[in-house]
Structure 1
């Protein structure tokens, strides 16, 4: 686990990247922020969590870190011990955890419940969707108080890394760590010209801007998938699926909806035994 800090003092704001080693968007955003070295009004802790998995280019080394919290200092796996130490680092912090997904290119936020932290932060993140996971997030970091996750985009893409940086800037502005505008810095080695040129745009996005409104969805049930060689998903995430509408297939066997639902985190190969989740639309969070 690698920990860096912007500003001086005891941080009460943290950004967590690299929980999964096959999701490089978060570590790229952290490196870009460190290279920009913005003046902060509150100290910020920046954490790249599972360095071993990142170096190996795998999701995890022994156990999914985002199913291992709160962890165990004497645990049998690297991730179990890492989860314990990461929780200790986040004690007293409001945290943003950066992820990417195979389900949708559009970034969205995830919170265990729509509490005062979600209400204060999510409208500043340039997202239009918030997924509430209450009761269906066992072992995930999101169970840590004052923690918001963001799915930054499609796994392994430059767009996800770009979105991650923008989302971090919005989070730091929402928590009072960044002033209203910060001059852009040259991109570090390994960051594309496109990323460098868009620093000013990212700064503008953190300049007090809010989404007009954020639709709130609540996870209801996992959608299992059977063992098969090939999978298909026919629906768009967060778009209602009507009764009788086909939503997925496994080796040509088509599945249709018994009841209407909103698909969330749904993709052919994102999970080993799930297509994703069924959700309900439960309201709107105004900015």
Structure 2
């Protein structure tokens, strides 16, 4: 009987090991699209990235790294944009032997490529507005133009980004820069609590995406366009969101007007 029990335990362990070998670790592929929502009252930017991932049926492990950046890992959130009913995030783990890395354990009943959204908060990106007034020779008329400058010291490049600028006061209990430098959670945690702080703000921001009022401000040059892109103003309760026309490349260490 003891021999049979040992054999049974051995078979279970071998089966578990074989199953573990069949679970591949996938590093996130390059972005298909990215959106930056930058606040001016706090050192805070909400980043939404769209990526295409090839899933296999069963368990998938998706790796996300924030090394050498100011990304807040507790706000990192993963959700499918297609086949939502067939793709489920089981939990989020922070490997003890791999600092600045997290792994999403995803169960999929779908096999093939699907678009997903990865969102998180980062610090180190800021914006400011400048105004230029030009008068005519007689100083009887004047034209005023506004320009926006974005500075990126987040440690991450964002190419082809949709840029949104938020005006309004928010109060953070914990600063994003401090969360980015803090040690990760010591034990595996589910994805929902890790992203709870960001979900309310994501919902509020999504409500402001319809409609808009024309603005008279400009920012850089949209990719593929010679003229500076216009900025569209949208209202949301006590906040205003200015959306920059076109796509912008916001490189780390650069400032762009």
Assess same fold via TM > 0.5: no
Higher Cα Rg: structure 1 or 2? 2
Instruction: Please state which structure has a larger fraction of its residues in strand.
Output: 2
Tell me the TM-score normalized by structure 1: 0.26
Tell me the TM-score normalized by structure 2: 0.29
